[in-house]
Amino acid sequence: MNDVERTLSRGQQVGLVLLRTLIGWHFLYEGYFKLLRPAWSRDGSPLAAWTSAGYLHAANGPLAALFHRLADSPWIGRVDTAVAAALILVGLSLTLGIFTQAGCAGSLALLALFYLSQIPTAGVPQPQTEGAYLFVNKNLIEAGAVLVLLVFRTGRIAGLDRLRHEPRARVATVQEAAS
């Protein structure tokens, strides 16, 4: 039993790991879906290959100029692959609880980028989106949730990180048992 486990109730631990798994899945599936395309939905509609170019073109906020340049750059294809790969890596990290702190940090960085590219300043529903947002949107909220995961070091509650962090404890247990 480590310090995280000692200080948190069982319910708190379960809640945190559940939150991490859900966020991990969200990232993982978004990344998987991007790499899968071009694809077809089960009801028979084609889904064109994914590119972030259109989204980046529509970017606003302080980094808009950078995003616009990126959208027009010849390496937009590599940018797309990198984004999808990053989403999958972060997703795997959070889902499985491996290198969780790095995964949380990566996820925060991605969410920050996404948020900065589309900061909701209008405060009214935008075309092709649901809901009305002013400053706070779901990206920002997800970032807040990841921040919680980061500070609680949830990899030490559950996940493959336990195999990395507590090898000695496990060995000790086995040795004790053998003696």
Partner 1 sequence: MLSLDFAPASDGADYWIRVHRRAMACRFEVTLSGEDAHHVPAARDALDEIDRIESSLTVFRETSDLVQLNKAAGHAPVAVDETLFGLLHLCRELHLRTGGTFDVSTTPLSRCWGFLRREGRLPSAAEIAAARALVGMDAVELDEAGRTVRFRRPGMELNLGSIGKGFALGQVAARLRQHVRHALLSAGGSSVLALGGRGAGWIVDLRSRQVSRDRLARVHLRDAALATSGAGEQFVEVEGTRYGHVLDPRTGFPASGVLSASVIAAEAAVADALSTAFLVGGLELARRYCADHPGTLALVTPDDGSERPRVFGQCPGASLEGA
Partner 2 sequence: MNLTPEQQELGRRNFLKALAGTPALAALAVGAAIKGPVKGGPVRVGFIGVGGQGRVLLEQTDPAYADVLALADINPLSLGKADDVLKKKGLHPARHYAEWKEMLEKENLEAVIMAPPLWMHADIASGCMEAGKHVLCEKMMAWDYPGCERMRETARKTGKILEIGYQRNYNPIYQAAHEGIVKAGQLGDVYHSRIVWHRNGTWRRKGEPPSADYDPSRWGYPDYDHLINWRLYWKYSRGLHAELASHQVNIVNWFFGAEPEAVVSSGGVYRFPEGGREVPDHVYTILEYPHGRTAVFTSIESNAYDHYYEAFYGTKATLILRGETEAYLFDEGGGERPTTVDVTPKGSGPALDASESRSAEAAGSFKSGAPEKIERVAAYRLEVSGFCASIRTGKPLLCGPDRAIGSAKACIRAAEAVEKKSTRLSV
Evaluate whether 112 touches 170 at the Cβ level (below 8 Å).
no
Q: Does 178 bind partner 2 (CB under 8 A)?
A: yes
Per CB under 8 A, the segment of 64-72, 111-119, 138-146, 161-169 that binds partner 2 is 161-169
Q: Each residue of 77-89: b (16+ CB within 10 Å) or e? A: eebbeebbebbbb
Choose among 25, 10, 51: nearest CA to 142. Answer: 25
Interface residue with partner 2 among 6, 9, 46, 130 (CB under 8 A) is 46
Q: CA-to-CA distance for 96 and 21, rounded, in angstroms?
A: 7
Q: Does 95 bind partner 2 (CB under 8 A)?
A: yes
Residue 54: name its binding partner from partner 2, partner 1, none (Cβ under 5 to 8 Å by kind): partner 1
For binding to partner 1 (CB under 8 A), which residues are involved? Answer: 26-27, 30, 45, 50, 52, 54-56, 58, 83, 87, 110, 114, 125, 128-129, 138-139
